[in-house]
């Protein structure tokens, strides 16, 4: 009987989980087929190494039409909150949902987001795109969130207070793409202040014009908002979120060397049009890593890096020409990248609050695709003096269930934490 009751509670919890509109089972919708390759909504040429930047749209099957009216009522309520003195509250009409895929050179799918198209009924021409902040389509983004957030909690950071807006959580995202990761973090964590660094202005424009990212987030080189005041529709859609997003057009190395912010978490996903993670972002002697070392919180700072790992299956040797090595993804260098981050960002272990505190690095494999999430953190707290793989995994799992509930995640973190975790020695 006890087992039956436990299983019933477990099944009930599963039924109550918010539906994951970005579940990998929907990948055929945004991947396209020979018969249906989607329709292109933006195309431009980059001079920052990304080649031809394009955005392709594909129809989305979720959410069902029956739920659109609920969203329309939400937009109407938001409009009343934004314009309380206006007696005539605007009515909105949801026109539909689409997947928007950011391509580099018509080959690389760099970013995938879901957008809602809507307009004000009084102004049918006022088409607006709103990226769906709760939706992470690609498994590697879910992996970065699933392993990163429990890790920073395991380092003693009070994430629950940040989720409820009771403390500020400073986050840096290097590499923007469509912006789904920073938008997800800012929407789920009320206290999150997210700085985003993107070197390519074409990518920034594409994310705002064709992928529904908040335009109010764009910053000038002097650190001011490019637009001093958001328009009404932005306030309706994003108030409470867009004020905490700051999108900078900048080289990552220049940014970390010239600002004085201290970040609780750093997420790095920075591949160019040739699918290369440039050496200056992982060389242990690079100014970037040394600058990042100064920008990371000394007690609980956590860095999460997305790495391509498909080339790890290969066995590169001297018989492979230099030319062909340049064509291979960066996965062959995962060990070197992981070691560089660990060596530069982690000093000797320390002790405080009566607990053993130690910096560590580990990798986890991403399900379904050939990516790896590298995590390097400071201050991993444990009662044991010896840290091994099982201890790290069990510690992360113990933090995960509470986080899933508090964050109201539409997906479970456990499959990502338990996926081939290995320590960086």
- Average pLDDT for runs of 10 along the chain of length 425: 37 56 94 86 95 96 95 92 74 95 93 96 88 96 98 97 98 98 98 98 98 97 92 90 97 96 97 88 95 96 90 43 39 83 76 56 93 95 84 95 93 93 93
Tokens of 424: 């960086």
The confidence score (pLDDT) of residue 237 equals 93
| Alpha carbons 194 and 188: distance in angstroms, whole number | 12
| Residue 34 DSSP symbol | S
| Alpha carbons 269 and 304: distance in angstroms, whole number | 9
For residue 218, being part of any structural domain is answered with no
Q: Which of 99, 131, 163 is the last residue of a domain?
A: 131
For residue 209, being part of any structural domain is answered with no
Residues 348 and 374 in one domain: yes
Residues 114 and 261 in one domain: no
For residue 228, being part of any structural domain is answered with no
Residues 260 and 170 in one domain: yes
Closest to 267 (Cα-Cα) out of 198, 146, 364, 174:
174
Number of structural domains (the chain) is: 2
Helix, strand, coil percentages, rounded to 5, for the chain: 40, 25, 35
Residues 263 and 310 in one domain: yes
Assess contact for 134 and 184: CB atoms under 8 A.
yes
Name the 3-class secondary structure at 383: coil
Residue 269: which domain range? 139-199+250-423
Residues 144 and 92 in one domain: no
| Alpha carbons 60 and 30: distance in angstroms, whole number | 8
pTM (2 d.p.): 0.90
Q: Given the DSSP bridges, would you call strands 108-120 and 92-104 parallel, antiparallel or unpaired? A: antiparallel
| Alpha carbons 56 and 41: distance in angstroms, whole number | 6
Name the 3-class secondary structure at 363: strand
Residues 191 and 319 in one domain: yes
For residue 4, being part of any structural domain is answered with no
Q: Which of 131, 157, 172 is the last residue of a domain?
A: 131
Residue 395, phi then psi, degrees to nearest 5: -65, -45
Residues 41 and 147 in one domain: no
The confidence score (pLDDT) of residue 35 equals 77
The confidence score (pLDDT) of residue 32 equals 83
Tokens of 200: 């390519």
The secondary structure element, H or E, covering residue 270 is none
With b for 16 or more beta-carbon neighbours within 10 A and e for fewer, the 189-228 pattern comes to bbbbbbbbbbbbebbbbbbbebbbbbbbbbbeeeeeeeee
Closest to 297 (Cα-Cα) out of 151, 81, 120, 88:
151
The confidence score (pLDDT) of residue 316 equals 44
Tokens of 237: 């859609």
20 Cα distance to chain centroid? 16
Residues 69 and 187 in one domain: no
Q: Which of 131, 153, 175 is the last residue of a domain?
A: 131
Residues 301 and 364 in one domain: yes
For residue 14, being part of any structural domain is answered with no
Kindly report the CATH number assigned to the domain that includes residue 368.
3.40.50
The confidence score (pLDDT) of residue 11 equals 39
Name the 3-class secondary structure at 286: coil
For residue 304, being part of any structural domain is answered with yes
Residues 64 and 146 in one domain: no
For residue 205, being part of any structural domain is answered with no
For residue 233, being part of any structural domain is answered with no
Tokens of 398: 């113990």
Residues 109 and 163 in one domain: no
Residues 180 and 94 in one domain: no
The confidence score (pLDDT) of residue 323 equals 38
Tell the burial category of 63 from Cβ atoms under 10 Å away from its Cβ (0-12, 13-18, 19+).
middle
- Tell me the sheet residues that pair with 218: 247
The confidence score (pLDDT) of residue 14 equals 41
């Amino acid at each position: 009987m006890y087992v039956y009751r436990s299983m019933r509670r477990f099944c009930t919890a599963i039924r109550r989980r918010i539906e994951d509109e970005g579940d990998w089972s929907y990948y055929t919708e945004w991947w396209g087929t020979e018969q249906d390759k989607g329709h292109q909504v933006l195309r431009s040429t980059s001079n920052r190494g990304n080649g031809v930047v394009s955005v392709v749209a594909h129809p989305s099957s979720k959410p069902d039409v029956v739920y659109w009216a609920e969203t329309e009522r939400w937009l109407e309520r938001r409009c009343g909150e934004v314009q309380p003195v206006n007696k005539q509250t605007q009515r909105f009409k949801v026109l539909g949902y689409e997947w928007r895929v950011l391509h580099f050179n018509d080959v690389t799918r760099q970013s995938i987001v879901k957008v809602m198209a809507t307009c004000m009924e009084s102004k049918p021409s006022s088409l607006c795109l709103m990226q769906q902040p709760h939706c992470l389509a690609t498994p590697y983004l879910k992996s970065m969130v699933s392993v990163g957030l429990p890790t920073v909690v395991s380092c003693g950071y009070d994430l629950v207070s940040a989720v409820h807006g009771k403390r500020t959580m400073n986050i840096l995202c290097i590499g923007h793409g469509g912006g789904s990761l920073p938008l997800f973090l800012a929407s789920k964590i009320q206290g999150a202040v997210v700085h985003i660094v993107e070197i390519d202005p074409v990518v920034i424009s594409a994310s705002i014009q064709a992928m529904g990212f908040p335009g109010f987030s764009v910053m000038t080189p002097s650190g001011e908002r490019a637009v001093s005041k958001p328009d009404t529709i932005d306030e309706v859609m994003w108030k409470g979120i867009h004020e905490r997003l700051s999108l900078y057009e900048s080289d990552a190395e220049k940014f970390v060397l010239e600002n004085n912010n201290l970040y609780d978490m750093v997420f790095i996903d920075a591949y160019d049009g040739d699918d290369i993670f440039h050496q200056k972002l992982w060389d242990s002697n690079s100014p970037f890593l040394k600058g990042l070392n100064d920008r990371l919180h000394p007690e609980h700072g956590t860095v999460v890096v997305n790495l391509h790992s498909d080339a790890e299956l290969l066995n590169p040797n001297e018989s492979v020409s230099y030319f062909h090595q340049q064509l291979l993804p960066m996965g062959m260098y995962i060990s070197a990248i992981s070691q560089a981050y660990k060596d530069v960002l982690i000093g000797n272990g320390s002790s405080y609050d009566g607990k053993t505190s130690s910096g560590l690095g580990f990798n986890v494999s991403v399900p379904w695709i050939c990516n790896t999430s590298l995590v390097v953190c400071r201050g991993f707290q444990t009662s044991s003096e010896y840290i091994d793989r099982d201890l790290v995994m069990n510690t992360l799992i113990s933090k995960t269930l509470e986080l899933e509930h508090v964050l109201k995640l539409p997906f479970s973190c456990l499959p990502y934490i338990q996926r081939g975790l290995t320590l960086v020695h």
